[in-house]
Chains A and B, each alone.
Chain A
Amino acid sequence: MTEFNLIQIAIAILFLPLVGFAFVLFLGKKIKSAYLVEVGILILTFLLTAVLLFNKLYWFADKNIVSEFSWISYKNIAVFGNISIDLGFLLDNLSVIMIFTVALISMLVHIFSIAYMAGDKLYNRYFAYLGLFTFSMSGIVLTHNILMMYVFWELVGISSYLLIGFWYEKKSAPDAGKKAFLVNRIGDIGMFSGIMMLFNTYHTFTFEKIFAQMASGTLPFNSEFWLTVTGLLLFCGAIGKSAQFPLHVWLPDAMEGPTPVSALIHAATMVAAGVFLVCRIFPMLTGDALFIIAVIGALSALIPATIALTQNDIKKVLAYSTVSQLGYMVMALGVGAYKFAFFHLITHAFFKACLFLGSGSVIHAMHHEQDITKMGGLKKKLPLTYATFLIASLALSGIPLTSGFLSKDGILQGTFAFGSLTGYWLFPAVGFVVAMLTAFYMFRLIILTFHGEPKNKEKYDHAHESPFVMAMPLVVLSALSIFIWYTPNPINADAGLFLGKWIKTPSLSVPQNARYSFMKTDLVPEGKAENNRDISNEVKKEGTAEGKEVIYSEAYTEAMHHAHYPAMFLSLFVALTGIVFAFVFYYWKKISADKLARDIKPFYKLSFNKWYFDEIYNATFVTFTMLSSRVLAWFDNTIVDGIVNGAATVTRMISFFTGRFDNIVVDGLVNLMAYLSGFIGLVLRRFQTGRVQTYIVLVVFSLVIILYLFKTF
């Protein structure tokens, strides 16, 4: 297997789902079983990604495989100089692991959907959309330049829009689709501006070239401040796509889509694209940018976690949980725990997909009942769903022996290390609080859904375990939520190949003085950067870029190492606390949740109403937009239309006058000519008598005149 073979496989992986999309979309109406082609293609795609993953990680683990071709190339253009826009693939460990995850979950969701969507009248079109989504997502993951990434970024946006609004007869579904699309647009504007700033500075879209130029000292507008701004603008795209704090409102609404779609797009892959983007651009993020990213991540982790506590819709709870976990990953990236952010991205993709598909199984069994207060006791009816759901919930809560424990613990460890290095202890605090809240709401969900007495007897009696095609994905995904796939040591993720060998923190391209203080030298203890300025300067003078990197990772790794056990025990403690609280409230009912809710009514209402984000946005941005639209409409109606109407009136007047001119002067001239011709004709007609003698007279007369004129005497 050569590098070229891997690129060929990658091309096949990218375009196969597109073929499936086109096939099912165009022939779906004629051929009832066209969806089977799409499912088959996805299975094939998954097998190819497995081959790609194995070969890349086994043979080329330390090598980035790039294949590109020049799409647009100009020499010596005004302002820009030489421009070369390349399109191509970047196969590094990050992208092959990600593409494997995407293809696996996409395939399982396809299979799950065969049963879940059975009987839907747009059955084939649904699979076509899934194919389109898989294609776009693969594009994001495999591309080696940010322009292509942006194109596919928008493509996943459109497929997400199509799938959220899939049941378009319900009014809420298309509304949610529009909301998701518009909110994403806001983030994408920022991302687009960031891309333009990068292109303006580096005249290329390729990540590696950008980072190389940045490492050699080229910065946007020659200032670190603008580098920070560029990084944050690109992060705006991630805020939109990954539903981070100010723009998180679309994701819970997106649950209007079919549940497998929620599992695939709005839990496992597309929303993780934002985190993936931050991973990709990690080398160019300055300390300031990372700090803001960490703050946004922390807010996104905390706020939705508090909202999830009180939601009653099974999918809404999971949606807020997703936002919260994505916030976790973003926070991890912000504090520099790059490896664990990506690790959590992968583990979360599996167990959250499992949870969503499990909830799909429950909803399917309950005949589209989503309210957990109307469920209960489903453990007996749905034993397999219950078992897989429980494993995934344990993973999400961070209980040992699960993958979630490792990755979540890693993130907490990272925030802990960050706190110890910089003194910002708020981040680990948020992390642990969220870990507790997560464990609490997940077990609240499980207890209300699967334990206790059935609230709705009729639906309970009709509930039945899901068929094989729905159960199989659950089993696979819950199996992937176990630690063994990632590391042989259930309490140390670094022991495994995943973090030990495959995923490495990339070397930074950011100038030394724009990084976090602890990223410059290994001797910065808690928040005392001043003492070490000299050392860092020395390092700057002596060290090569490589050398500095070692120092950075050593300092951070050291702090991570110190944080390992405290963070682990603390996280385990808070998770168990959360679970115990959930049991106290909902299982043993020692404390009445309703009574507590009444006691702290303001907080309860705040959480239940989702912190009034929708209302606030409605009252501010939406109202403002509507108001400005009205003003603009008024402007259009009166001023612009007035100008147009005025122009019309003036034109009409001018036309009137030119019409008159035409009628009188031009037509007059024409008529005059006609009259003259007629008159002359009338005169000349006299000569045409038809009598030979008249002609002879005229001839003789003319001859005489001619002779007279040409006389020579």
Chain B
Amino acid sequence: MIHIGLGHFLFVSSILFSLGIFGVVTRKNAVMVLMGIELMLNASNINFIAFAKYGNFGLQGQVMALFVIVLAAAEAAIALAIVLNIYKTFSTVNVDEIDTLKD
């Protein structure tokens, strides 16, 4: 029987975070990029909860996780609005084709 400790939590969260970054970096669709961001936020949530359970911080970790969830919801709303605007402007949501930042 494997005892599940802090290391396991961190391992899972780091995998999740890496997958999120991978998604953000490699996906062409803007919506998929946003989903990558969600993954990364959730990875951090796992970290908060894990540290709250194993560390001696009281309820702070849980509360912070709840904050992050609320924040993620707000972020998703704003980000989707931005994507819509991008689509209106460029007629595409392919982030590879949107390179006007370099101008």
Contacts and interface: CB of A to CB of B under 8 A. Distances in A.
A709 interface: no
A700 to B, nearest CB: 6
Contacts of B24: 693, 696
Nearest to B21: A700
B100 A692 contact: no
A150 B70 CA distance: 109
Interface in A671-697: 688-693, 695-697
Of B26, B95, B98, B101, the most chain A CB neighbours within 10 A belong to B101
Contact of B102 (A688, A696, A697, A700): A688
Nearest to B101: A690
Contacts of A697: 25
A694 B99 CA distance: 10
Contacts of A700: 21, 25
Interface string B59-103: 000000000000000000000000000000000000110111111
Contacts of A691: 95-96, 98-99, 101
Contacts of B99: 689-691
A245 to B, nearest CB: 102
The A interface is mostly helix, strand or loop, or mixed, namely: helix
A689 B25 CA distance: 14
A700 B36 CA distance: 14
* Chain B residues touching A, range: 10 to 19
A692 B21 contact: no
A690 B95 contact: no
A304 B90 CA distance: 119
A690 B25 contact: no
B31 to A, nearest CB: 14
B102 A689 contact: yes
A556 B92 CA distance: 136
Contacts of B21: 696, 700
A700 B37 CA distance: 13
Contacts of B33: 692-693
A691 B21 CA distance: 15
B96 A690 contact: no
Nearest to B27: A693
B25 A696 contact: yes
A696 B34 CA distance: 13
A692 to B, nearest CB: 6
Nearest to B102: A690
A684 to B, nearest CB: 12
Contacts of A690: 98-103
A18 B100 CA distance: 88
A242 B26 CA distance: 116
Contacts of B101: 690-692, 695
A697 B24 CA distance: 9
Nearest to B30: A692
A450 B99 CA distance: 122
Contact of A693 (B25, B100, B102, B103): B25
A577 B82 CA distance: 140
A691 B24 CA distance: 12
Contacts of A695: 101
A693 B103 CA distance: 16
Contacts of B96: 691, 693
Of B25, B33, B95, the most chain A CB neighbours within 10 A belong to B25
Contacts of B98: 690-692
B41 to A, nearest CB: 15
A623 B98 CA distance: 99
A301 B49 CA distance: 137
A692 B102 contact: no
Nearest to A700: B21
Contacts of A688: 102
Nearest to A697: B25
Interface in A481-508: none
A302 to B, nearest CB: 110
A693 B24 CA distance: 7
A316 B103 CA distance: 101
A711 to B, nearest CB: 15
A692 B95 contact: yes
A316 to B, nearest CB: 102
B44 to A, nearest CB: 14
A651 B72 CA distance: 78
A695 B101 CA distance: 10
A402 B95 CA distance: 132
Interface in A331-367: none
Interface string B12-41: 000000000100111000000100000000
A239 B92 CA distance: 114
A668 B26 CA distance: 45
B17 to A, nearest CB: 10
A300 B24 CA distance: 123
A691 B100 CA distance: 8
A696 B95 CA distance: 12
Nearest to A693: B25
B50 to A, nearest CB: 18
A147 B21 CA distance: 103
Contacts of A693: 24-26, 33, 95-96
Contacts of B102: 688-690
A693 B21 CA distance: 10
A125 B57 CA distance: 114
A37 to B, nearest CB: 86
A390 B69 CA distance: 142
Contacts of B100: 690
A163 B41 CA distance: 112
Interface string A287-307: 000000000000000000000
A697 B95 CA distance: 14
A688 B100 CA distance: 11
B80 to A, nearest CB: 16
A533 to B, nearest CB: 120
A683 to B, nearest CB: 15
A315 B62 CA distance: 134
Nearest to B36: A696
A691 B99 CA distance: 5
Contacts of A692: 33, 95, 98, 101
Given A690-B98, A693-B24, 12 more contacts: A690-B101, A691-B95, A691-B96, A691-B99, A691-B101, A692-B95, A693-B25, A693-B26, A693-B95, A693-B96, A696-B21, A697-B25
Sorted from nearest, which 6 A-B pairs have the closest CB atoms?
A690-B102, A690-B99, A690-B101, A688-B102, A691-B99, A693-B25
28 contacts: A688-B102, A689-B99, A689-B102, A690-B99, A690-B100, A690-B101, A690-B102, A690-B103, A691-B95, A691-B96, A691-B98, A691-B99, A691-B101, A692-B33, A692-B95, A692-B98, A692-B101, A693-B24, A693-B26, A693-B33, A693-B95, A693-B96, A695-B101, A696-B21, A696-B25, A697-B25, A700-B21, A700-B25
